[in-house]
Chain A
């Protein structure tokens, strides 16, 4: 579950790092060059130059719980199955992000933020 949420946030960041989807979501055309207008920018933290690495980082991060060895708890699945579940979560969340940027692009940033927070909670509670 946390893998799905984290992947969702990651894919959204990567999508919003693309010109087309960035424009759809924020309504601003070509983003200003980094640094030059940083304070004046409407959404300084969602600059594609930040979003893309953040997205990749979150994708990598989402793999971590899957690969960490099972702690012998009853019902714990072996890492091989966890990684397969992770790959599935990767695809499902990418489909979800595609649906969001297709039909609800302005909501994408908010949804991704909620997903990120929820992912942290889900991870904390071991979902």
Chain B
């Protein structure tokens, strides 16, 4: 609108003064977007983030939840032929099998197979030395966290998984928006780079915790969110395939996937369930394994599989171990199953496929060794805490604003009842941030407590998980919406602490894979799980203690003020302590910062 103004010096001054103001307006708009993009699906994001973080240890959860796999001997060089012979003893007419080789993270041989009926794949776990089948309890194990993380899976066989992936995709997009707008909104990105002032209390401490956990691990968040979106690009953005892979008989997405995996489309078999397939002839695996190792200059072999291709030829595919490179979908060598002759290597090298593979690989982190895995796990926890602090910050900010308003009106003595929406947010905060860790603990406990012979045992475990979560929601609603009171946070936290610390005890009472066995023999994978459970329990117990009702922090003369949705009284802190005497104030501090302290402590 300045166009219509005459170019007087005053107008020019106005014009130049407008630039920073515009920037401020932009920042404010981004701030709005950040708040609402974060809030709307924030709880879901927290759940996705936390279960995804646990999925970094999917293998370890899988083992812990199947204690029958404890104590397996190490594999030797002849493990593949031995396992195949054992499979053929059990299933003589096998038509297709996939053999996952044992490695440092999983000592068992896992075989997926199907017979002439061409139905679903069956799973068989084997002792790598003897080939004996290991019968394990019926559980989803760590796969539940993994499946819930990307498709909100609620049952073992899976239902609404496609819809779940869409919901997760929407949440991920929100996360990406919240991250980008968060960078814009953060006024002092570089100045506050290392700044965390828990002793300032209240909103300041929460904001610092949110900022520090957001900024310092930002590369991880951007990577994990963007790659998470890209993994399901075919689902979210199908028009690319629809345009480029249009054939005579409609869209040939099968050819796209073949290209993506570097396969020749004619090698991909298209059979419908129930089709008759000829059984595989005997295959000499040893020379094929040797040839593959030689071709990869001693690289590890991750998996072997055998099947008939579209022309009925028997093909053995050797997949390299995923720890050998960053990119997802390791290279595969194809051999003729009868002659043992090398046919080709499937490893697409086009820039687009490589980029996709790197993003995919970064997200799944199959390349990561123990140190890197723990670092990523820590980043995931910090991400969950960043989301959590953001959610709490929303209520803290609101109640602080309300407090100032009522102080201005002179009614500060009686805290008013917060509006319904705010109480609802408080309730769901309790249910998600406190309830989900509790539910995860209950899920693990159910794995040890349910009788082995329970029918639909895996689904019953999930029922325990969702019941615990649902109870936490009811509790949150009761404490924050129906009858506002303090103590809403400490109960699920204390319950979670109890469950997590009990896990190693339950393990000791019900299995032979407990700390008394695993510590002396130095089986750190098994012992590490139990010890981590103990640590989780201790952390939750500490939080419950900090957030217990009626706790008046040191140096605070404020009386507790009625209804609270944030874990602790937070407002009026600035008024009570305009200067807190530098940053070395009392460390007992303020209950409101407990989770933020825990973040740096844990």
Q: Which residues of A approach B to under 8 Å, CB–CB?
A: 11, 14-15, 18, 20-21, 24, 74, 78, 80-81, 84-85, 87-92, 94-95, 97-99, 101-103, 105
Contacts and interface: CB of A to CB of B under 8 A. Distances in A.
Contacts of B378: 92
Given A88-B379, A91-B216, A81 B196 contact: no
B326 A81 contact: yes
Contacts of B376: 88
Interface in B575-591: 582-583, 587
A91 B193 contact: no
Interface in B323-337: 325-327
Majority secondary structure of chain B interface residues (helix, strand, loop or mixed): loop
Nearest to A72: B297
B280 interface: no
A84 B583 contact: no
- Which 7 A-B residue pairs are closest in the complex by CB-CB distance? A80-B326, A94-B216, A15-B194, A88-B375, A102-B196, A98-B194, A91-B217
A98 B193 CA distance: 8
Contact of B219 (A18, A21, A91): A91
Interface in B482-500: none
A90 B195 contact: no
Nearest to A11: B194
A94 B358 CA distance: 25
B365 to A, nearest CB: 9
A9 to B, nearest CB: 14
Contacts, number: 68
B162 interface: no
Contacts of B582: 24
Contact of A98 (B191, B212, B220): B212
A98 B600 contact: yes
Interface string B288-326: 000000000010000000000000000000000000011
Interface in B21-59: none
Contacts of B195: 20, 98
A53 B587 CA distance: 33
A18 B193 CA distance: 10
A94 to B, nearest CB: 4
B194 A81 contact: no
B372 interface: yes
Contacts of A102: 194, 196-198, 583, 600
A81 B327 CA distance: 9
A91 B220 contact: yes
Nearest to B376: A88
B583 A24 contact: yes
A101 B375 contact: no
Contact of B217 (A11, A74, A95): A95
A92 B375 contact: yes
A21 B194 contact: yes
Given A78-B326, A80-B325, A88-B376, A98 B216 contact: yes
B101 interface: no
B232 interface: no
A88 B212 CA distance: 16
Contacts of A92: 375, 378
Interface in B190-245: 191, 193-198, 212, 216-217, 219-220
Nearest to B599: A95
Nearest to B217: A91
Contacts of A103: 587, 600
B600 A95 contact: yes
23 contacts: A24-B582, A78-B325, A80-B326, A80-B358, A84-B362, A84-B372, A87-B219, A88-B375, A91-B216, A91-B217, A91-B379, A92-B375, A92-B378, A94-B193, A95-B600, A97-B194, A98-B194, A98-B600, A101-B194, A102-B197, A102-B198, A103-B587, A103-B600
Contacts of B327: 80
A31 to B, nearest CB: 17
B368 to A, nearest CB: 8
B194 A105 contact: no
Nearest to A79: B326
B166 interface: no
A92 B196 CA distance: 16
B342 interface: no
B542 interface: no
A97 B212 CA distance: 11
Nearest to B325: A78
Contact of A90 (B219, B298, B372): B219
Given A78-B326, A85-B372, A94 B219 contact: no
Interface in B358-398: 358, 362, 367, 372, 375-376, 378-379, 382
Q: Quick one: which of B197, B375, B582 has the most chain A CB within 10 A?
A: B375
A42 B21 CA distance: 43
Contacts of B198: 102
B209 to A, nearest CB: 11
A99 B597 CA distance: 10
A117 B376 CA distance: 27
Contacts of B600: 95, 98-99, 102-103
B221 to A, nearest CB: 10
A84 to B, nearest CB: 6
Nearest to A91: B217
B325 A81 contact: yes
B386 to A, nearest CB: 12
A47 B33 CA distance: 41
Given A78-B325, A80-B358, A87-B219, A94 B194 contact: yes
Contact of B367 (A24, A81, A90): A81
A84 B367 CA distance: 10
Nearest to B212: A98
A35 B211 CA distance: 36
Nearest to A93: B216
A14 B194 CA distance: 9
Contacts of B191: 18
